[in-house]
Amino acid sequence: MARTSRRGSLRSTHKYSWISLAVCWLIWVLNAYDREIILRLGPTISEQFGLSPEAWGAIASLIMLALAILAIPGSTLSDKYGGGWKRARFQVPLVIGYTALSFVSGFKAASSHLVAFIALRVGVNLGAGWGEPVGVSNTAEWWPKERRGFALGVHHTGYPIGSLLSGFSAAAVLSMFGPDNWSYTLFLGLLIAVPLMIFWGRYSTKDKMDTLYDHIGAQGLTPPDRDHVHVRADGDRGPIAACFRERNINLTALTTLLTQIVYMGINVVLPAYLYNIVGLSLAESAGLSVVFALTGTLGQVLWPTLSDVIGRRTTIVICGIWMAVSVACFYLATSSLLVVVVQLAFGLVANAVWPIYYAAASDAAPEGAVSTANGIITTATFIGGGIAPLLMGKLISLSGGWSAHAGYTVCFFVMSACALLGVLFQLFTRRPRPQNSGKQDSPDSAQPTMAL
């Protein structure tokens, strides 16, 4: 099918698309809050249990790697269950389940025993990692394909908001209740998740999805595949194998892994840098380490929407170079003011790239395997997230420990190099092949291989 230039007016978007986006956005805020709060509390937890940089890095890596374990098999199970309104109902017990585990981990009976706390946080992240590609796919399936970048971009603004909320929550709890009561920050998620998911389960119906897709078609736009389930016939590849044979999915996954080392590395290093080098208190370090989320929200609307116009690959390359330069500039941030300035620059792309990665994977996904393709991106993200704390902790330890400036400098430049390597992988992506199902090419489909 020839690529259309029509992307539709946001004013003509059906209310069902907007309501679904709002719900999925709130789910993503909760996911981000639960994931990021542990990193905000890194210096506090390290002090309570007397952890070295390497020990804290290993613990954070274990918790973050748990996010990767169920992403692919869980998203494939979601594809088999069904897309659209079925996938929305698939989310309900999943989100309530992992937020309930997070709630339990906030009680002192769990948080005062390191092994028990780690075990619970691993359980939380097993569910959260499973839930991410399901939520991304759910968002994409309530919007026309021509607005996929915009929808996923707005959806992903929930992550910097959740990250910002985690910093403010940690700072407030540490200031009001003291460092010994840091676990109070873990009670918030379940209180919001239960009523939200009950509403979502009741709201998502086949009739609404049919009405929405008819409206999308009447606007001259392309609705996602209707409840298509990937069924494997004899001799056919399953959805996982089919996705791994797509070069663009594989290369984008590698770029995602490297970018996550940068993003998670900053989240691990910055609170400790502010506390040990800049000289802020534990509460101030937690609060000031999330300033980049302010511009992250703007970037997550701007860049993914732009990728609908200039192409996924071109946008990813621009953002990757920007990220490499801005993260290297943390080397110069030796005061609170400079930390804020550099974070604001870094934030413009720090969160923006993930919806573009997911959109690129969705564009390249075989029919009926969108969530599986997104699961591969999610798995790559969390492998990078698991590598980052271990790598940063090792680099800091080798350079003199928590109080030595040199270790943080090495971390910043290693992260910058990872961002540039991710850009290099994008130069080898190729034009998506036309699909027999009539699936449209992404905006990059008009570009020659290796072109920007």
Q: Using one digit for the tens of pLDDT, what is the confidence trace for 19-68? A: 999 999 999 999 989 888 888 888 889 888 988 888 888 898 888 889 88
pLDDT at 448 over 70: no
CATH code for position 353: 1.20.1250.20
Confirm whether 5 is domain-assigned. no
Confirm whether 14 is domain-assigned. no
pLDDT at 170 over 80: yes
Measured CA to CA, the distance from residue 227 to residue 278 in angstroms comes to: 53
pLDDT score, position 160: 80
Least confident of 207-216, 298-307, 390-399, 433-442: 433-442
DSSP conformational letter for 237: P
Q: Using one digit for the tens of pLDDT, what is the confidence trace for 141-150? A: 899 888 888 8
Measured CA to CA, the distance from residue 335 to residue 355 in angstroms comes to: 32
Measured CA to CA, the distance from residue 136 to residue 134 in angstroms comes to: 6
Q: Which band of pLDDT confidence, cut at 50, 70 and 90, is reported for residue 315?
A: very high
What is the amino acid identity at position 25? W
* Percent of the chain scoring above 90 in pLDDT: 34
Measured CA to CA, the distance from residue 355 to residue 346 in angstroms comes to: 17
Confirm whether 9 is domain-assigned. no
pLDDT score, position 8: 54
Count: domains in the chain: 1
Q: 259 with 430: CB under 8 angstroms?
A: no
Confirm whether 231 is domain-assigned. no
Q: Which domain holds residue 83?
A: 22-220+238-446
What is the Cα 277 distance to its own chain's centre?
Answer: 29
pLDDT score, position 61: 85
Q: Using one digit for the tens of pLDDT, what is the confidence trace for 369-414? A: 877 888 899 889 889 988 998 899 889 988 888 888 889 999 999 9
Least confident of 75-84, 107-116, 194-203, 428-437: 428-437
More confident: 95 or 286: 95
**Average pLDDT in the chain:** 84
pLDDT at 261 over 70: yes
Confirm whether 12 is domain-assigned. no
pLDDT at 440 over 70: no
Q: Using one digit for the tens of pLDDT, what is the confidence trace for 319-362? A: 999 999 999 998 888 788 888 899 899 989 988 898 899 889 98
Confirm whether 226 is domain-assigned. no
Measured CA to CA, the distance from residue 304 to residue 369 in angstroms comes to: 22
What is the amino acid identity at position 184? Y
Nearest to 64 by CA among 390, 349, 396, 357: 390
Measured CA to CA, the distance from residue 375 to residue 373 in angstroms comes to: 5
Confirm whether 195 is domain-assigned. yes
pLDDT at 318 over 60: yes
Complete DSSP assignment for 124-192: HHHHHHHHHHHHHHHHHTTS-GGGHHHHHHHHHTHHHHHHHHHHHHHHHHHHHH-GGGGGGGGGHHHHH
